[in-house]
Amino acid sequence: MCTLSVIPLTENPSALGIRLVVNRDESRLRPAAIPPAIETFGAHQAILPRDPQAGGTWIGVNDAGLAMVLLNATGAPAPARPITRGAIIPSLLDAVGRDEAIVRAEQINVGQFAPFRLVIVDRAMLAELAIDDGALRVHDRHAIDRPLMYTSSGLGDALVGAPRRELFAAMFAESAPWRETQDAFHRHRWPGREGVSVNLSRPEASTVSQTIVEITNDAVTMIYHGAPPDQSIAAVRCSVPFLGPHQGPSK
């Protein structure tokens, strides 16, 4: 369960660079994630946190400037013994660019996983892939020339999607700088509606961490807060040089 937003790093879309923020929502009983580290995937270095139980991840970014976020999908039956969905992003982090990652993602045998959506982002474009008729297909594609938001919830995507989208649109309709608005959106909690808030709090689940990814002309950076976004703790920061796509063959 996650809420993801993406903004251009400046409000001038011609200045390539994006900022991606993810609130991760999980059971309060689930162990804390292993903070992000730099790993090698084929010809690329990538940054990703890891789940300490299954070893997978919900977010990763490589030095080609390719970021990926996994969102659960509710409403469809899951296989009885699925492979962890956290294995999906690590299997794609050696891709040299967005198009290769999409083609390879569409070849995934989705029947072995519980339902999911996959968001693939570079400095210019976002693609959302969803399961359709037993296969993963591009469901949505946008140039990153304005703020974008995607969300999922164990309560049901339809239940939380509309109010969170309305909040997102209303907050970005104000005149505040986009970066400040993005941070405020991910901290937001409705009094009396904490269970459907972006900064989630329910007896059995909560927003457990926030991950920020920035991709600029010079560097790819991940900043990880291992607590809800309204709690002040020391963050883990990792960076690799931005090499851009097509810097070498994927292995």
| Domain with residues 2-241, CATH architecture | 4-Layer Sandwich (3.60)
At 11, the pLDDT band (50, 70, 90 cuts) reads: low
Mean pLDDT score, 77-102: 87
Of 12-21, 38-47, 115-124, which range is least confident? 12-21
CB-based contacts of 108: which residues, under 8 Å, 6+ apart? 88, 91, 136
> What average pLDDT does the structure give for the chain?
90
As a 3-state breakdown, the chain gives helix, strand, coil percent values, each rounded to 5, of 15, 40, 45
CA–CA gap between residue 208 and residue 25 (Å, rounded): 6
Q: Are 24 and 58 in contact (CB under 8 A)?
A: yes
Mean pLDDT score, 158-177: 89
| Per-residue confidence (pLDDT) for residue 156, from 0 to 100 | 62
Q: How many residues does the chain have?
A: 251
Q: 3-state DSSP call for residue 41?
A: strand
> Could you read off the pLDDT of 30-89 as tens digits, one per residue?
999 999 999 999 999 999 999 998 899 999 999 999 999 999 887 655 555 578 999 999
| Per-residue confidence (pLDDT) for residue 244, from 0 to 100 | 83
> Could you read off the pLDDT of 130-167 as tens digits, one per residue?
998 899 999 999 999 999 999 986 666 667 778 999 99
| Per-residue confidence (pLDDT) for residue 16, from 0 to 100 | 77
Q: Are 200 and 207 in contact (CB under 8 A)?
A: yes
- Percent of the chain at pLDDT > 70 equals 90
